[in-house]
Amino acid sequence: MEPTTLLQACDDDARLLLIAAEERWGRPVLHCPEWDAAELVRHTGSVLQWMATIVDTGERVSRRSLSPGPENLEDLPAWYLATLDRTLDVLGSTDPDSETWTFSSAGDHRVRWWCRRVAVEVAIHRWDAERAGVVDGGPAPRSVEGAVAAEGIEEFVQEFLPGLLAREDVEGIAGTLHLHAIDGPTEWTIDLDEGGSAVVAHAKADTAIRGTRSDILLWLLNRGPLESLEVIGNENLLERWGQLQF
């Protein structure tokens, strides 16, 4: 996806996140157990602020050095939306191929890396906010938009999975894994025994997972019901995947 498209998707999801959170600020967030809806908004706003500051300066910045979101719930929406607007303005007005600091494990230090990161981060937390409402009888959360989900799958597989697999406390995640999207051209074959080495290819694997791009991404990030996916082969991997907390 082009950076402008990613930023538009971020804008849409960020506003939907706030709408869902405002329904009940104290609502627990299932996949972020230490947070309620208000804290999810503060977290997302602080991440947006952090990304904008990095791109604006081109340098590594500690999130702790930035102002936290307001504790007063009446002030929280205005702060969040102002932070969103500034972030979109900074990222959108900067050459996407200009150099900046990133935490890319693949060595990508361009602004466009942040355009993808912000779109995926906000899409997942929008889903978190909407999923929290199901407990109160609300509708199921909207899927992650397919193209954004595809970007998120690629990002996770290439940027984050190798580091997660290298952790000393990870056990029993082995063999080969095939991810096959049924709603778009997204397909990966991953060798978990080789540090998560991944290629865009159709190949026989020990475990194959088929589903929408949204459902595959949500599963990779330990969200979403596995019942929505088709699993073929060794299911032991599924029981152990939860160790990979990103």
- Written as tens digits, the pLDDT of the chain (246 aa) is 999 999 999 999 999 999 999 999 999 999 888 899 999 999 999 999 999 999 999 999 999 899 889 999 999 999 999 999 999 999 999 999 999 999 999 999 999 999 999 999 999 999 999 999 998 888 999 999 999 999 999 999 999 999 999 998 999 999 999 999 999 999 999 999 999 999 998 889 999 999 999 999 999 999 977 889 999 999 889 889 999 987
Q: Indicate the number of domains in the chain.
A: 2
- Beta strands 187-191 and 197-199, pairing class: antiparallel
Residues 29 and 77 reside in one and the same domain: yes
Closest CA relative to residue 149, chosen from 177, 191, 179, 111: 179
Residue 43's pLDDT is: 97
pLDDT at 135: 83
Q: Does residue 164 sit in the same domain as residue 98? A: no
The CATH number of the domain where 198 resides is what? 3.30.1050.10
Query: What's the pLDDT at 117?
Result: 98
146 within a domain of the structure (yes/no): no
Domain that includes residue 16, residue range: 3-136
In a domain, 54, yes or no: yes
Structure tokens at 210: 């088929």
pLDDT score of 203? 87
In a domain, 147, yes or no: no
Give the position of tokens 């466009």: 112
Q: Which DSSP letter does residue 110 get?
A: B
The residue to which tokens 């997972």 are assigned:
209
Q: Are residues 80 and 163 in the same domain?
A: no
Round to whole Å and give the CA distance between 143 and 127: 7
- Rounded Cα distance between 168 and 160, Å, is 15
Q: Phi/psi zone of residue 186: left (φ > 0), alpha (ψ -120 to 50 degrees), beta? A: beta
Q: Do 132 and 175 share a domain, yes or no?
A: no
pTM surpassing 0.85?
yes
- Considering the domain boundaries, does residue 202 fall inside one? yes
